[in-house]
Amino acid sequence: MAVNSARKAIAPVAGRKPADDGKPTRQSLKSAQTRSRLIEATIQCLVKVGYSGTTTPLVASEAGLSRGAMLHHFENSATLIRATIVELHERRLRAFRRSSENSQHDPSTMVSAYWRQVQKPAFIAFQELAMAARTNSELAQIMRPLQIEYRERFNAEAIALYPEWHSAPENFAQAMALSQTLMEGMAMSLLTGALDEAMVPSLLHMLEDKIRTMRPGAGTASAA
C-alpha cells in the first residue's frame, strides 16, 4: 500500500543519526523571525489605526512582506490576532519578572515599573483589542480563554515572586488588583485627556502608600 511505502521511505536507517538533533534549523529561525515581524507589525497597526483598521494587507505592508508570505505563517486574521494577544501577554509577564528580580520589592519600585509598562505601545494595542472584543463576538471568543490563562499565570508567578506576601494572600491579591486597575485606568485617562498629567506623580505616590499599609506586618511596624 502507498501508506506502507511512505512509511518505509521515511523510516530511519539503522545506525544513522537522525537529522533532527533538537537544534533550530536556519529555516526554522527564519520562520520564527518572520512570525515575529508580523506580530510586531500587527501591534503597530493596532496602535496606529485601531482594531477595525488592522487588516491583513495592512499588516503585511507594515511588516514589509507580501500578503502571500503572511498567509504562509498565519492562514487568516484570527490566527494572527490570537498570536498577537499571546505575545502581548508574554511581554507583560516578562516585564513583571524583570521588575521583581531587579528591585527590593519596595512599592515605589514596583509601581514605577508597572507604570512604565502601561506607557508602551503594547499596552495601547492590548486596550484596542479589549475594547473591540466588547462588541465583536469572534474576537471575544479568542480573547476570553487567553485572558483567563494569562490571569492564572500572572497570579501564580506573582505569588512565587513575592514570598514576603505569603502570610497575607488576600491583601496581596487586593494590592495587585488595585495597582493594575488604577494605573491602567490612569493610562487610558491620559490618552483620552480625562486626566491632567500633572496629577500622575501624586496619584502614584498615594498608591505606593496604600500598598505599604497592606503589606504583612505593616500595622506592627507602625505601632512600634
What single string gives the DSSP state of each residue in 154-182? HHHHHHHH-GGGTT-HHHHHHHHHHHHHH
| 201: number of Cβ within 10 Å | 9
- What distance in Å separates the CA atoms of residue 92 and residue 76, rounded to the nearest whole number? 25
Q: pLDDT tens, position by position, for the chain (224 residues)? A: 333 433 444 344 444 444 556 678 888 788 899 999 999 999 999 999 999 999 999 999 999 999 898 988 999 999 999 999 999 999 999 988 888 876 677 889 889 989 999 999 999 999 999 999 999 999 999 999 999 999 999 989 888 888 889 999 999 999 999 999 999 999 999 999 999 999 999 999 999 999 999 999 876 544 44
| Cβ burial 105-141 (10 Å sphere, 16+ → b, else e) | eebbebbebbbebbebebbbbbbbbbebbeeeeebee
> Cell triple for residue 128?
484596542
- Residue ranges covered by each domain of the chain: 82-213
Which residues, including other chains, have CB under 8 Å from residue 38's CB and lie 6 or more apart? 59, 60, 63, 65, 70, 73, 74, 80
| CB 208 within 8 Å of CB 108 | yes
